[in-house]
Structure 1
Amino acid sequence: MDGLVSVNLNWGITFLIQMGAGILGNSLLLCFYNFTIITAQILKPRDLILNQLVLANNLVLCSKGVPQTMAALGLEAFLDWAGCKLVSYLHRVARGVSLSTTCLLSGFQAIKLCPSISRWMEVQIRSPKSILLCCFLCWVLHLVVNIYMVRYITGPVNSKNLSMEKIYRYCPPPNPGNLLFSVMAVIYTFTDGMCLALMVWTSGSMVLVLHRHKQRVQHIRSSSLSPRTSHETRATHTILILVSMFVSFHALASILSYWITQLQNPSQWLRSISVLVASGFVTFSPFVFIVSDTRVSQFFACWKKKTNAPRMFSGL
């Protein structure tokens, strides 16, 4: 028993590190994009989309990662009936918004990059009002749709009736006995698959456009290329990495979840890896933007200089 508790503690610390890194990265980006939106004279639609994405990712980590880490560390009965419903509802909404926003970001960049799309659509998607409307509709859609699913969350798990092998379960899963629940689950699966298919399609279109562009300019000196082209190419590369991460983590998490349901007594290692993979995208995606977006590093460098300036003058 002591060895099992020690293993649970190790996994709990691992979850805590992953959750802390994800919340820190998303919070830094949230501060940066909010500051950029507030102070910018011209709103950039891409910044509006990214601001919503990091906000949704942070909500996913807070609603899923924090309770899961607490459960892994051995804290019992920290959520009541209302707490389970609220946490489950926020997680489903934030997860859905994160998926929709990643799909929106991929589609937005594809429309900007691909010349085959009509000029009217390109003008409309560049409008901040259109992007704000899309972001608002994402939240409204998932807030409304997931209300029905929350009614099937019964309440907190009675830890006395659970063995130590059934870990990280702070609230029971919904009871899928109702026919309407099964229909809603199929609809959710279909919409998730449509979003993933759309992301794959737009990503493939962007890869094809970049490949053709590279073939056209391979005999032209790099100095003759416009700055706009290089910026668009860098942004496209970032989004392609982001979409690849999302699809990979989502597919692997789905495989592991299905595998666990098929096993009569899944191992603790398999359950723990499934938890880590399920939170992989929301944890690592902000660091892709931090590394690839030069504005982020310049912003925090300037902020650091401003905070250190009073100390320098005070020492004179």
Structure 2
Amino acid sequence: MSSLRIVINFQAVLGVLANMFLLVFYIFIILCHRPKPTDMISCQLAFIHIVLLLTGSDIWLRDIFESLNIENDFKCKTTFYINRVMRSLSISITCLLGVFQAVTISPSSSLLAKFKYKLKKYMISAFLFVWSFNLSFTSYRIIYSGAFTNMSETKQMKVTKFCSLFSMNYIIRTLTLTVTFSRDVFLIGVMLATSAYMVIILFRHQRQCKHLHSLSHLRASPEKRATQTILLLVFCFVIMYWVDFIISHTAVLLWMYDPVSLNIQIFVMNVYPTITPLVQISSDNRVINMLKHIQSVCHHIFRKR
């Protein structure tokens, strides 16, 4: 196994464990405490990233499918479809996270203030739309992916050891690429717009609070910390998305994938779902306080023994 493949597997294990911890934490908060409006979004994002990392690193799934005696064609179609759906959901839910945080911190005098008290209602509708759109739009991947066959290489492009993409009609390919690119540009545009809006609000808030509070109090603001976290996540996502976009679409246009570029793309694609939970864990006071409480309980138990 190449050193890059070892790094990818370590990255996937780290990302899955961190996201599972975050998923359990948010489920606990939603069921047993008073969740913030963005907690439901972060919970979904953790679940999406777990599935994305599992389907992106097909070594684990290959072993599962082989133990269940499932044929390669079904395995390829399933993993490729789910992986693409999760990639689409990752950008959509990240965009939602930025929008809802912008609404949450918006001042009462702004136009967005009227949506503050209806966030839960709009959130459920947004979730239903985002999931249904991505599940239906990405369904064409089921038709144009499958197990590697003996047909000529001009009609298929090998993307893993066992799976390949089949060539599409020029009109279908152009249409799907156009819709995908338009959707992604729109979502990234919304992310950047909401990020700029949040930066402006934070800057204004900081200027106003300088006259009323100390800078240490301002730094401790939960709203500011949450906003800074989301700004960092959006920044990381935009960079990683465009690197992944360039690699994958260059391969599709040239109709050529080599193992090195595939591994680099998987590594780049897995960076965002791996660092997201780590950033959220390190910046959420509730997680930090819970870990400190668990540590103190464990310390107390061991002292008794």
**What range is the shorter-chain TM-score in?**
0.7 to 0.9
- Aligned match of 1:298: 289
Counterpart in 2 of 1:19? 12
- Does structure 1 retain, via aligned residues, the 8 Å contact 2:191–2:234? yes
3-state secondary structure, aligned to 1:173: strand
CA distance in 1, matches of 2:234, 2:264: 21
Q: What letter corresponds to residue 25 of structure 2 in structure 1?
A: F
- Is 1:90 the counterpart of 2:90? The answer is no
Query: Which piece of structure 1 moves more, 252-261 or 141-150?
Result: 252-261
Describe the shift of the 1:89–1:224 C-alpha distance in structure 2 as closer, same or farther (beyond 3 A): closer
1:58 aligns with 2:44: no
Give SS of 1:45's match.
coil
The structure-2 alpha-carbon separation of the partners of 1:170 and 1:68, relative to structure 1 and needing over 3 Å to count, comes to: farther
Query: Which residue is equivalent to 2:66?
Result: none
Q: Deviations over 1:69-126 (max 9, x none)?
A: 969xxxxx9861111111112112211211111000000111122332243222212x
Deviation at 1:258, TM superposition (A): 4.2
Q: For the residues of structure 1 that align with 2:260 and 2:81, how far apart are their CA atoms?
A: 27
The residue that corresponds to 1:121 in the other structure is 115
Q: Say whether residues 1:10 and 2:13 are aligned partners.
A: no
8 A contact 2:54–2:61 mirrored in 1 = no
Is there any run of 5+ residues in structure 2 with no aligned partner, and where? 64-68
Q: Which piece of structure 1 moves more, 208-217 or 20-29?
A: 208-217
Is the 8 Å Cα contact of residues 103 and 113 (structure 2) preserved in structure 1? no
CA distance in 2, matches of 1:232, 1:249: 26
| Bigger Cα displacement from structure 2, 96-105 vs 269-278 | 269-278
1:104 corresponds in structure 2 to: 96
CA separation of 1:283 and 1:170: change in aligned 2, threshold 3 A: farther
Cα deviations by residue, 1:172-215 (Å, 9 ceiling, x for unpaired): 12422252343123212211111111001110111122122223
Q: Structure 2: which amino acid aligns with 1:234?
A: R
> CA separation in 2, counterparts of 1:93 and 1:171?
17
Letter of the 1:276 partner, please give it.
F
1:31 aligned residue (24, 28, 35): 24
* Aligned CA distance change for structure 1 residues 103 and 174 (closer, same or farther; 3 Å): farther
| Count of paired positions | 293
Quick one: distance in 2 between partners of 1:9 and 1:237? 37
The structural deviation recorded for 1:306 is 4.3
Measured in 2, the distance between the counterparts of 1:258 and 1:180 equals 15
User: What is aligned with 2:244?
Assistant: 253
**Which residue of the partner structure matches residue 285 of structure 1?**
276
Question: Is 1:177 the counterpart of 2:169 in the alignment?
Answer: yes
Given that residues 26 and 286 in structure 1 are in contact (C-alpha distance below 8 angstroms), is that contact kept between their aligned partners in structure 2?
yes
Alpha-carbon shift at residue 142 of structure 1 (Å): 1.6
The CA distance in 2 between the partners of 1:64 and 1:198, in whole Å, is 27
Q: Which residue of 2 aligns with 1:274?
A: 265
Aligned AA for 1:242? Answer: L
Distance 1:294 1:258 in 2: 40
Deviation at 1:38, TM superposition (A): 1.2
Relative distance call for 1:32 and 1:268 in structure 2 (3 A) is same
Counterpart-to-counterpart distance in 1, 2:5 and 2:89: 27
Distance 2:134 2:251 in 1: 27
Q: Give the superposed CA RMSD.
A: 3.1
Identity %: 27
How far does the alpha carbon of each residue in 1:282-315 deviate from its partner, in whole angstroms, 9 at most, with x for none? 11111110111121122233334445655554x3
Listed as ranges, the gaps of 5+ residues in structure 1 are: 1-7, 72-76
Give the SS at the match of 1:172.
Answer: strand
Task: Normalising by structure 1, report the TM-score.
Answer: 0.81
Whole-Å separation in 2 of the counterparts to 1:179 and 1:204: 37
Q: How far apart in 2 are the matches of 1:190 and 1:24? A: 33
Q: CA deviation at 1:51?
A: 0.1
- Aligned residue number for residue 180 of structure 2: 188
